[in-house]
Structure formats: C-alpha cells, structure tokens
C-alpha cells in the first residue's frame, strides 16, 4: 500500500492507519509529513516491506516498534528526495537513530540507506545487529569506499558496484540516486581513468549505455549523454584506440536515448553534435574509420537534422568534414548511399523556407556527393519521384529569394537527373510551372558576370532537352530564351561548370523535335563543357567554334548542324580515348 495523502495529524494518526489495514504486506510512506512516531506499526504482523524514504521522526524512540516486525525483510530509509546530500542540515541520520533506539529486525535481508548521512562505523554496527542482512544500498553516502565482506554492499567502491547501483536505481525508479551514480562515474573517468584497466572502464561504459537506454527518467537520460560529452576520458586517444569497437554501440545508445527525450532536447542535441564531431575528428589523424561507425554517425546526424532542421548547432559540419579524411572507398560508398542522399534532400527541403545559410551548405554537400554518384545511384534516386518533387518544390521556394548559388545548384540537380529520368517524369517535372519559374529568375542575355552566364548555361541545356523530347507546351517561349542566350553568349571564363551528359547530347542531336536554336545551343554548350585547361586542341575547338557561329548566323542550316553535331560527338569520343578524360 502506498499512501498518497502523506500528511499525518491529530485527526489522522499513523496508528489509525495501522489499525485500519492490519494485514498489510507492503507499506510506502515516503516523504510523509507530521510524523513523529511509528507507534502502532507493531500491529502489522505480515508487513514484509517498508518504504519510508525521506521520513524523519521527531521522536527517536518512535522507531522502537520496528523490532516487533518479525516478517520485515525490506527496509528503505533512503533520502531519495534530498537534493543536497552533502548538507548535514537536510540529510537524515536514520541509521544512527535506529542504532540509538536499539532496533533489531531479525528477518531483515535488504536495506536501502542511500543519500543519507550514515557513517562507516554506523553501517558496520547495523550489519552486525542484523545477521540475516544480505544486501545494503548506500548510494552517495559517506560509505562510498566501505567494504563489508558479509553482505553485498552497493556503493561507489568499484566499477562493478557502480554498475549494480545504477541498475538498482533505474529499475526502482530512484531517479536522484541514478543521477548521483552517473555523476560519480563521470568523476572517476575524469580523475583516475589512467589508473583503471580496460575491463573496469568497459563496466563504466556499459553502465552509462544502460542508463541512457533503459531509464524512464528524462533527466537521467540527459545526464548519461552529458557524461559521454563532458568526461575527459572520452576525449583521450586511449578511448578511441582501445575502445573503438565500443563506439558504435555508444552512438546507438545515446541516439536512442535522445529520440526518447522530451525535455533537455536542446542541451542533449548540443552534446550529440559534440560527440559526433569528436569521433569523426579523431580519425583525421591517420586512424582507420570503421564503415559501420561512419555510416551510423552520418545516419544519426541526418535523422536529427530532419527532426529539427532549424536547430542545426553543428550537424552540417559533421556531414561536411568526412570527405576530407575518410578513405576513397568509404567516400564513394557515401556518395552512392541513396538513403543518405534522400535524407539530405528531405532536410534541404525543410530548410529552404527557414535558414538560407544552412540550406546553402546542405545543397553544396549534395552537389559534392552527386558529382561522384554512379548512374545506377541516380536512377534509384529518381525512381520514386520523391527527390525530384523535393527539388521542384525548392525551386518554387527559392525563386522568390536572392540565393543565386542555390539556384545554380538546383539547376545542376535537374541536369544530372534529366538523363536518367523517363520521358513521363521529365514532362511531369519540367513541362509546366517549374521551367517558367526558372526562366523567371535566370537571365539569358546581357550577362554581367561569369556566374550569371553559368546559370544560364545550365538552364538552357535543360530547355534544349525539353524541346528535343517535345516535353513542354512552352516551345515558343523557350525558343526565345535559347535564342537570347545564343545572341548574348560571350567568351567569358566560366568556372565550376560540370560536364554535360552524353545522353542529353544525343537526345538534342537525334530527336526529330530538335530545332535549329536547340542544336545551335547544343554546340555552344558542348564546346564549353568539354573544355579542359591543359589539353591540346588539335584544331577541334576551332572547328566547334566555327560550326556554332555558322549555325547562329544561318538558321536554315539545320541538316548541316545535325551532321556537324554528329562529327563533334565522334571527335569527343576520339579525344576521350586519347586523353583518357
């Protein structure tokens, strides 16, 4: 029985409670107020468990009747509700009072005196007076380093005992005791980790993972995460080298713990970013980064970012750093991990409306990954249409914002995806408002700088593809834009352009729907995209330049343009073989 109304007075005395329920086996009067004595408890002949945490009797003799409880096996006199246990004014010397009252509970097997002011000699004496006592819990007391061979004493004397204390506290929902255990572990790892062997440290790690995973208390979960974040040991080379196989389990545990947090989310999130950055940062110095750990860290980071995209706090930094120090094989695997790229697109889609700086960083990261992605990966990405829909939605959003870099990146996505999309997908995606919206934000004439020219270049390649495949109803308007681009084209140096897909080029050249303008634009684009500084021209560039200018000056030379374009494709193949481009 647990007493909910825990205030005793003259009208409702403790003895009255005992008279009303003489057959009680379990009684919890924790934090009861107005209780001066336990007189009357001797009538509870069947009582096996008594919990009186944070109960201080005004009359020490009021404990005496406990000796009459012949079946009492479990006694909890802990100070669980006392937050400042180091202050003698607020702690309860209940063991001392029991000794003074000469209480003897002949069947007692379990005692919890955690967070009370019990002293070592007092606990030893109490154990001597109770020969059947098997277990005593003394979490965060002056008995932290006490050992009593005749009983199982749960205190802070060893990593094994720490683990038992923490499991006991969490299992019995002693939240303050659990937090004191975690703080104690943190102190040990800070101060004496160099004197602990690997087995002892493993027990501390296991205990922290258990707390973060199993505790139902939000604050306890947060303290476990915080320990992994703040403890000095988890920043040492020894941790990363000797416990590298434990790190994935730690990441998994603290991530699960965070997922179940409703409070302390902001602080815990900061801890996670710090832990992830520290883990990845260590492997910059020549150590081998496990594929499982890398994938897990990226996966958890993306999950956190998608949950709360407006509170980045370091997540994008985690995603941007790996490419600078992981192996080529691992980076290639990341570039072809469709789950990672899908999450990045989903995250970018959420950020587009809120954080322009974070959004730009994520878009740049996606670009860097997609540069290395295989055709198979691109096909998988566009197969269900979700990424393309995200991309289109972002175009609609940013067309009203002055984010020119982002517009260029989105154009690049469209160009990369277009060759692996079906005609139906192309038409659904680019045949309507998307194209008109893009044309509205990108100037195709009177280029003021290489940046504008680059964006127009990317846009016109997509427009030409739509014309070649007859996938748009805006043919007249698009032709006008392409012509503007051709007339306004200059010989500026354009940095950062990506190679045009051979499939796009073939579609432009071979389609019956190609127009003179689209073929002219095709040659201009091709001559730009395949230029690579340092390669020998062999007269090829002059041929392309002359051909494109000839078509631009004479719009009736469609057939000649087709033949010229086919010759260009042939020359491209020859140059690729010669220079292994």
Task: Give the CATH number of the domain where residue 108 resides.
Answer: 3.80.10.10
pLDDT in the model for residue 408:
64
Residue (of 345, 359, 481) closest to 413 by Cα position: 345
Residue 367 pLDDT exceeds 60: yes
Query: Whole domain around residue 43: which residue ranges?
Result: 14-154
pLDDT in the model for residue 342:
80
More confident residue, 387 or 185: 185
Tell me, yes or no, whether 1 lies in a domain.
Answer: no
Q: Which run of H or of E encompasses 353?
A: none
Tell me, yes or no, whether 326 lies in a domain.
Answer: no
Residue 477 pLDDT exceeds 70: yes
Q: Which run of H or of E encompasses 131?
A: none
Residue 10 pLDDT exceeds 90: no
Residue 481 pLDDT exceeds 90: no
Tell me, yes or no, whether 49 lies in a domain.
Answer: yes
More confident residue, 563 or 103: 103
Structure tokens at 8: 């005793």
How far is Cα 410 from Cα 391, in angstroms, rounded to an integer?
7
Residue (of 146, 156, 143) closest to 182 by Cα position: 156
pLDDT in the model for residue 515:
62
Give the range among 22-26, 226-230, 361-365, 523-527 with minimum mean pLDDT: 523-527
pLDDT tens digits, 79-116: 876 544 444 434 678 999 999 999 999 999 999 999 99
What's the whole-model pTM score? 0.67
pLDDT in the model for residue 545:
40
How far is Cα 388 from Cα 168, in angstroms, rounded to an integer?
52
Q: How many domains does the chain have?
A: 1
Phi-psi region of 536 (alpha: psi -120 to 50; beta: other; left: phi over 0): beta
Tell me, yes or no, whether 408 lies in a domain.
Answer: no
- Mean pLDDT over 270-277 rounds to 85
3-state secondary structure of 271: helix
pLDDT in the model for residue 325:
54
Tell me, yes or no, whether 370 lies in a domain.
Answer: no
Tell me, yes or no, whether 411 lies in a domain.
Answer: no
Residue (of 304, 288, 294) closest to 256 by Cα position: 304
- Tokens 């980790």 correspond to what residue? 193
| Average pLDDT along the chain | 75
Q: Read off the pLDDT band of 3 (50, 70, 90).
A: low
pLDDT in the model for residue 491:
44
Structure tokens at 109: 């097997």
Most confident of 224-228, 392-396, 572-576: 224-228
3-state secondary structure of 325: coil
Give the range among 96-100, 151-155, 156-160, 512-516 with minimum mean pLDDT: 512-516
Backbone phi, then psi, for 436, in 5-degree steps?
Answer: -65, -35
How far is Cα 142 from Cα 420, in angstroms, rounded to an integer?
71
Give the range among 131-135, 326-330, 337-341, 382-386 with minimum mean pLDDT: 326-330
Give the range among 277-286, 294-303, 460-469, 514-523 with minimum mean pLDDT: 514-523
Strand order in the sheet with 49-51: 26-28, 49-51, 74-76, 110-112, 135-137, 152-154
Sign of the torsion formed by the C-alpha atoms of 256, 261, 264 and 269 = positive
pLDDT in the model for residue 336:
81
Tell me, yes or no, whether 465 lies in a domain.
Answer: no
pLDDT in the model for residue 364:
74
Tell me, yes or no, whether 90 lies in a domain.
Answer: yes
């Amino acid at each position: 029985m647990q007493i909910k109304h825990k205030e005793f007075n003259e009208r409702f005395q403790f003895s009255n409670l005992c008279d009303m329920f003489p057959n009680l086996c379990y009684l919890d009067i924790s934090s009861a107020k107005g209780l001066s004595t336990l007189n009357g408890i001797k009538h509870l002949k069947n009582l096996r468990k008594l919990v009186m945490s944070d109960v201080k009797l005004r009359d020490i003799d009021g404990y005496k009747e406990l000796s009459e409880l012949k079946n009492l096996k479990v006694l909890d006199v802990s100070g669980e509700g006392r937050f400042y246990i180091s202050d003698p004014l607020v702690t309860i010397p209940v063991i001392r009072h029991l000794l003074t009252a000469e209480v003897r509970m002949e069947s007692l097997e379990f005692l919890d005196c955690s967070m009370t002011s019990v002293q070592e000699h007092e606990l030893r004496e109490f154990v001597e007076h109770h020969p059947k006592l098997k277990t005593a819990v003394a979490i965060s007391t002056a008995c932290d380093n006490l050992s009593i061979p005749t009983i199982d004493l749960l205190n802070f004397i060893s990593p094994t005992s720490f683990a038992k204390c923490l499991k006991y506290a969490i299992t019995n929902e002693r939240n303050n005791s659990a937090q004191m255990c975690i703080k104690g572990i943190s102190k040990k790892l800070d101060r004496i980790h160099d004197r602990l062997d690997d087995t002892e440290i493993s027990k501390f790690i296991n205990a922290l993972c258990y707390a973060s995973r199993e505790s139902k208390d939000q604050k306890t979960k947060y303290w476990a995460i915080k320990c992994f974040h703040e403890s000095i040991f988890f920043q040492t080379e020894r941790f990363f080298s000797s416990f590298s196989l434990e790190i994935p389990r730690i990441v998994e545990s603290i991530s699960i713990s965070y997922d179940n947090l409703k409070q302390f989310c902001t602080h815990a999130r900061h801890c996670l970013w710090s832990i992830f950055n520290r883990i990845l940062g260590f492997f910059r110095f020549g150590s081998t980064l496990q594929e499982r750990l890398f994938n897990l860290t990226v996966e958890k980071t993306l999950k956190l970012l998608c949950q709360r995209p407006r509170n980045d706090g370091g997540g994008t930094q985690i995603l941007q750093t790996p490419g600078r120090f992981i192996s080529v094989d691992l980076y290639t695997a990341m570039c072809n991990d469709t789950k990672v790229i899908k999450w990045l697109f989903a995250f970018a889609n959420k950020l587009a409306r809120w954080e322009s700086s974070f959004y730009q960083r994520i878009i740049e990261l996606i670009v860097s990954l997609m540069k290395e992605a295989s055709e198979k990966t691109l096909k998988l990405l566009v197969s269900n249409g979700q990424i393309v829909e995200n991309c289109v939605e972002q175009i609609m959003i940013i067309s009203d914002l002055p984010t020119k870099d982002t517009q260029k990146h989105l154009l690049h996505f469209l160009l990369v995806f277009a060759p692996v999309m079906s005609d139906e997908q192309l038409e659904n995606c680019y045949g309507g408002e998307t194209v008109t919206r893009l044309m509205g934000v990108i100037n195709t004439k009177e280029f003021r700088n290489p940046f504008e020219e680059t964006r127009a270049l990317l846009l016109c390649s997509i427009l030409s593809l739509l014309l070649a495949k007859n996938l748009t109803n805006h043919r007249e308007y698009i032709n006008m834009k392409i012509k503007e681009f051709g007339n306004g084209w200059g010989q500026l140096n354009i940095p950062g352009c990506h190679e045009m897909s051979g499939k796009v080029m073939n579609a432009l050249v071979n389609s019956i729907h190609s127009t003179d303008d689209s073929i002219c634009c095709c040659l201009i684009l091709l001559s730009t995209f395949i230029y690579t500084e340092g390669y020998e021209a062999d007269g090829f560039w002059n041929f392309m330049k002359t051909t494109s200018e000839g078509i631009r000056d004479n719009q009736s030379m469609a057939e000649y343009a087709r033949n010229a374009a086919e010759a260009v494709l042939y020359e491209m193949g020859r140059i690729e073989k010669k220079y292994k481009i």
